[in-house]
Structure 1
Amino acid sequence: MRVAIVTESFLPHMNGVTGSVLQILRHLQRRGHEAHVIAPAAVGAPTEISGARIEAIPSLPLPGYRHVRVGTSSARRVAASLARFQPDVVHLASPFALGWRGVLAAERLDLPAIAAYQTDVAAYTERYGIAATTGIAHTHITRLHRRATMTLAPSADAAQQLAALGIDRVRRWGRGVDAERFHPSRRESVLRADWGAEVVIGYVGRLAPEKQVEDLAALRGIPGTRLVIVGDGPSRARLESGLPDALFLGHLEGGALAAAMASFDLFVHPGESETFGQTLQEAHASGVPVVATGRGGPLDLVRMGIDGWLYRPGDLDDLRMRVADLAGDTRKRRAFGEAGRDAVQERSWESVCDQLLDHFAEARRLHAADSGARARRIVRPESPAPVAVRRWHRYVALGDSLTEGLCDPAPDGALRGWADRLALLLAARGGLHYANLAIRSKRVQDLSGPQLARALELRPDLVSILIGANDLVKRRVDVAALAAEVEEAVRQLRGIGADVLLVTPFLPGRRAAALYTRRFSAFATALTGIATRTGAILIDTDLHPSLAERPNWGEDLVHLSSRGHRFLAYRAGEMLGVPDADALGALDAAMHEHEPIGAGVWWRRHALPWVWRRLHGRAAGDGRVAKHDDYVYLGRSSAARSAFVG
């Protein structure tokens, strides 16, 4: 098997994600499989490990962690790397930023993707006090894992979190532990003497807000104890000030880390956002009892009263009581430590990685089944073996101003948008009856009302839907309700035998547009589910980030320019199997130039009239009718003459 791994973190920075990837690479090599790694570039990063080539991609340092890099490559570049390696499966290690590009790239190449959920990013944003981004993080995680063939959850709690987000196909996959490196025999009396305490309370991990290390201040003054902290991070200076009696050892790894862990008398971990808790396993392997918060990954790793204690989340009095209980009872510490050591014996990396190979095999079967279920007479843009393409005879476009074609005037002054251009592309294959029912300012209720009613009367065999932007920028919006309304419309259209082309709404690449990113992302996620359930054809505009670039937007800065309409039309043509649509689009783009409009003109022509309409409770589409409420016929010859006009 050929396995491509797209990882958010890698050497030289060592953490749980990096450690897991290294173990997977070693196991793949031992089992005779081939591997390829795509990872953020960093000074000192290797080019090959365990027979796998490491392809470094551009990256930026993570604020607060100068040694941690965040990959910044496009999905196109990741897809190119995957295409060169030709994997059987793509493993996404703790995906978020680079992992998003990885899942999009796998989708482009029609490859199964397995997303290993390892970091609760949304919880981290809360701890860092960036509440505004927490919802965005949840939405992004949901979209990413729904697009993967399968998601691997490290604990029962993590699996429940994912299920609550509507993510299905979740399988349990924990982490292995190196029980030879982390072993009670690593305990060092000299090290303990240097620490100068009868009972050592240890912590190992990042020193960052999400780890809640400041909660360990509750342990101050427990007789005969000393707190020893291993790790580094952006909170270190603040923690050293708040925990003046603690000993900070900084970052340790390898034998030094194993010796420190085994030399603890008990291990404490207060973080409430752990999806697993690898250091808890390593403490148990070292024969050290654990006290951890009763939330997240520790629920699966710590057995109450057997190998440790779980305290009530947020209850620091309970934390202190549990630690004091073990600190004052040598016999109990020993019994708990031995039980913990016994518990990890069945969690070797070899066993865990064999489970991963089984998950890879299942993902490949699921992906093949998905492909069969989605099998249509439509070419996917990157399909290696195109199949027969369907020819449509009656096409109806539904939507708002984008589909009406604002900011895309023809030479005669009439509007023509992406749907009009798509109709010409389809008509070039033998003629087409075309209706465009879209009207500016319309919303989902208009789609599911008069537009749907008229479309059903016209009995089309192809319908395009691009709607929702006007709803999503309202002061209050119920995304789930909007999606349910769209889904009912799609089901009715599918019920008369029509193919439905769904297009996710999109935003211009402007700072002000970021206010609505979360809503647009959530709605796009919902449309993805609708397409899956109904068999609709989806154009996910996230796959085409260049659409947000300024030249693709008109003079009002909220509608597509002629260039943008052409771009979207050719992308739709690709999805519908129009021969050479990509090449035609490239030629068309080379023949046209976009001319930006000045800010003063923008205010006079667009911003001030919009404000006036809002103040008077009016919309630009009031009183307007659809430009093609009935079919117009586009013949082969007229389509050929018009394809490159304007």
Structure 2
Amino acid sequence: MRVALLAESFLPHMNGVTGSVLQVLKHLQREGHEALVIAARSGDADPERTASLHGAQEALLRSVPLPSYPQVRVVFARAARLTAILREFRPDVVHLASPFVLGWQGLAAADALHVPVVSVYQTDVVAYARRYGLPRATAVAEAHVARLHRRSTLTLAPSSASIGQLEALGVDRVRRWGRGVDGDRFHPDRRSDAWRARTAGADRIIGYVGRLAPEKQVADLKALTGIDDARLVIVGDGPSRPELERLLPDAVFTGHLGGTELAEAVASFDVFVHPGESETFGQTLQEALASGVPVVATGAGGPLDLVRSSVDGWLYRPGDLVDLRARVSDLLGDDAKRRAFGVAAREGVRDRTWEVLCRQLVEHYEDARRLRPIDDALLLRGAIRPDVPAATSSARSWSTYVALGDSITEGLCDASRMPAGNYRGWADRLAQLLAHTTRAPGPFRFANLAVRSRRVRDLVDEQLPRALELRPDLVSILMGANDLVGHTVDVRALAAQVERSVRALRDAGSDVLLVTPFLPHRRAARLLARRFAAYNSELRRIARDTGSILLDLDSQPAIGEPEMWAADKVHLRSRGHRFLAYRAADVLGVPDAEALSGLDAAFHVDDDPAPSGGWLTRDVLPWLWRRVRGRTAGDGILAKHTAYVDLPTGEGRSRVRAT
């Protein structure tokens, strides 16, 4: 793969953005990918810089320093110039690292070449503008961030707080992608008694690492002055350093540290403090945790996902400096607790390696490459693009679930480990996943009202009334494919019927999982692609307008691969049903759904029985004969679970319960 990385901030200025880009370059080289870095020109080239690029090409552009912060440089390159650079490199994907000015120009260049764009949200420029007291600039920044990320093929955000911020700005298609930590460099073994003695004498050390700028709120650390036998040590540099040195005359300012010097300093802290409320992630917190140092951080932004309060540190109330002092004093005053928190801190980040994170990043690149052609095709028709679900932290506590739909939801052709004539299906599999993760007391209750060959009118006339009688917490709807393959269809009228059904369920208090119909990747299916795209665009609007949960399978192209489909070429085989169940579980917030999916697949050699007879005589001719007679495969078929089935949340057997 050929990856062009546009870095808003880069060498020689080291910060979180630069560090992430360097780690990505290292991984891309190790995996045999080719990379190009486009960044601001700053100073002369040197051998160390060249080595740090890990074999990547580099295109440096003229830049100007920010007046109040000369280490940060801004590139004002013409989009035409960037287009020429990208055209020559021929990237498969463009990676925008913390995009704002250069990122916007790069986005325009990528659009001109129809190259997918992955934007990595790392800097909360909106909060920075607000912190600097610029109300007009804040509104401009919000509009710019929203516009830029909505145009990106995919946006990666490092924390649940930053995902929520982007979604509040109307940004769609946001995925969680955190940051790795170098667990070898940042390690408890780096702790140095000699460093501690040189820096703070016999005092315990309250440490901070980061840029010294107003948005970091380092001045809040004044609340920690005067704690007995403790010394505040501040590592880092920036425009606020002179003012902070006057404000904190007893603190030790080390200036910028890097490499093993930084690792030694962090591991030598007793407590790490982080007062900034506008962090999208908080890499220095992660490095402190890897060093076995408990963290006290503000309960806002990125720290919410990194610090396990009362396990490996404390989260104090944002802006409550009395609480900050109390939390730090608590850890300094209890050696046993501080040691226990430190051990938990190291264990908590053991698996957050850059290798794992960069493998995830390459998977996001692949998703963007699949999505870009779909986006371009939909844009020509004025349709809404498919949305990639954001990762959610945990499943809601549903206790009752009803599935509505046709043969796909009934489970036709999913005979894996089922008695003859019985089918399982994605919805039944999803119900079991939800049952094992529910926090509600008692059994998990499930009904499947889907029947093969049913259409949207059957959803409205038969399945919806029964679903409303059952009063479920959660309802899934996958319906419309049988209508869309008909001779003629009014897509908008069809979607309007679905919308009325969704609104009725939402008004009754049910959450709704709306699933977009899909087609196999076969030449014949292309004749129906336009209808399906238009219908799915309507479903996206319905989900947005009704507050429903959307599983958008247009953003999961693997569902169309031949190995997902049964021998009849119109239904999913067991592998396809498993794929669909775990994608649904993921969007519903089932913990570790992706990992469980891989584990489940490892236990299955696809055990679908080999069908007898040829496709024409076995599948096509019976279908034609039913059509001639005005019949369907679902005539006389009843839903397999018209009443609730109780699924135990622990060991035990399911039992039918009349309702």
Residue 134 of structure 2 corresponds to residue 143 of structure 1: no
2: distance between equivalents of 1:352 and 1:27?
Answer: 10
Q: 1:69 corresponds to which letter in structure 2?
A: R
2: distance between equivalents of 1:156 and 1:370?
Answer: 26
**Equivalent of 1:284 in 289, 293, 317:** 289
User: Partner residue of 1:250?
Assistant: 255
**Equivalent of 1:241 in 218, 237, 246:** 246
Q: Cα distance, 1:371 vs. partner?
A: 2.1
| Secondary structure, counterpart of 1:303 in structure 2 | coil
| Secondary structure, counterpart of 1:240 in structure 2 | helix
| Secondary structure, counterpart of 2:245 in structure 1 | helix
1: distance between equivalents of 2:266 and 2:44?
Answer: 27
| Secondary structure, counterpart of 1:268 in structure 2 | strand
| Unaligned stretches of 5+ residues in structure 1 | 378-494, 496-531, 535-646
Q: Cα distance, 1:374 vs. partner?
A: 3.1
Matches within 5 A, 1:315-334: 315-334=320-339
The C-alpha deviation readout for 1:567-589, integer Å capped at 9, x for no partner, is xxxxxxxxxxxxxxxxxxxxxxx
User: Partner residue of 1:89?
Assistant: 93
Matches within 5 A, 1:390-405: none
1: distance between equivalents of 2:63 and 2:130?
Answer: 24
User: Partner residue of 1:31?
Assistant: 31
**Equivalent of 1:262 in 248, 252, 267:** 267
Q: Cα distance, 1:193 vs. partner?
A: 0.5
The C-alpha deviation readout for 1:364-404, integer Å capped at 9, x for no partner, is 11112112323469xxxxxxxxxxxxxxxxxxxxxxxxxxx
Q: Cα distance, 1:74 vs. partner?
A: 1.4
Q: 2:255 corresponds to which letter in structure 1?
A: G
The C-alpha deviation readout for 1:224-276, integer Å capped at 9, x for no partner, is 10000001111101100001110000011111111110110010000000000
Q: 1:248 corresponds to which letter in structure 2?
A: F
Residue 7 of structure 2 corresponds to residue 3 of structure 1: no
User: Partner residue of 1:112?
Assistant: 116
1: distance between equivalents of 2:276 and 2:381?
Answer: 48
1: distance between equivalents of 2:196 and 2:169?
Answer: 46
Q: 1:181 corresponds to which letter in structure 2?
A: R
2: distance between equivalents of 1:24 and 1:304?
Answer: 30
| Unaligned stretches of 5+ residues in structure 2 | 383-491, 493-535, 539-659
Preserved CA contact (<8 Å) 1:47 1:54 = no
**Equivalent of 1:187 in 180, 191, 215:** 191
Residue 57 of structure 2 corresponds to residue 53 of structure 1: yes
The C-alpha deviation readout for 1:180-229, integer Å capped at 9, x for no partner, is 00111111111100122431000000000000000000001111100000
User: Partner residue of 2:208?
Assistant: 203
Q: Cα distance, 1:75 vs. partner?
A: 1.4
User: Partner residue of 1:302?
Assistant: 307
Preserved CA contact (<8 Å) 1:271 1:293 = yes
Q: TM-score, normalised by structure 2?
A: 0.57
| Secondary structure, counterpart of 1:374 in structure 2 | helix
Matches within 5 A, 1:496-575: none
Matches within 5 A, 1:54-453: 54-194=58-198, 195-375=200-380
2: distance between equivalents of 1:130 and 1:4?
Answer: 33
Matches within 5 A, 1:600-619: none
Q: 1:173 corresponds to which letter in structure 2?
A: W
| Secondary structure, counterpart of 2:77 in structure 1 | coil
| Secondary structure, counterpart of 2:365 in structure 1 | helix
1: distance between equivalents of 2:202 and 2:112?
Answer: 58
Q: Cα distance, 1:47 vs. partner?
A: 5.3
Preserved CA contact (<8 Å) 1:12 1:44 = no
2: distance between equivalents of 1:312 and 1:175?
Answer: 25
Matches within 5 A, 1:607-646: none
User: Partner residue of 1:40?
Assistant: 40
2: distance between equivalents of 1:299 and 1:155?
Answer: 8
CA RMSD of aligned residues (A): 1.8
CA pair 310-376 structure 1, distance change in 2 beyond 3 A? closer
User: Partner residue of 1:609?
Assistant: none
The C-alpha deviation readout for 1:394-448, integer Å capped at 9, x for no partner, is xxxxxxxxxxxxxxxxxxxxxxxxxxxxxxxxxxxxxxxxxxxxxxxxxxxxxxx
Q: 1:166 corresponds to which letter in structure 2?
A: G
Q: TM-score, normalised by structure 1?
A: 0.58
Q: 1:255 corresponds to which letter in structure 2?
A: T
1: distance between equivalents of 2:347 and 2:117?
Answer: 34
Q: 2:288 corresponds to which letter in structure 1?
A: A
2: distance between equivalents of 1:214 and 1:533?
Answer: 50
1: distance between equivalents of 2:331 and 2:191?
Answer: 18
2: distance between equivalents of 1:237 and 1:185?
Answer: 33
2: distance between equivalents of 1:293 and 1:273?
Answer: 10
2: distance between equivalents of 1:67 and 1:160?
Answer: 30
User: Partner residue of 1:22?
Assistant: 22
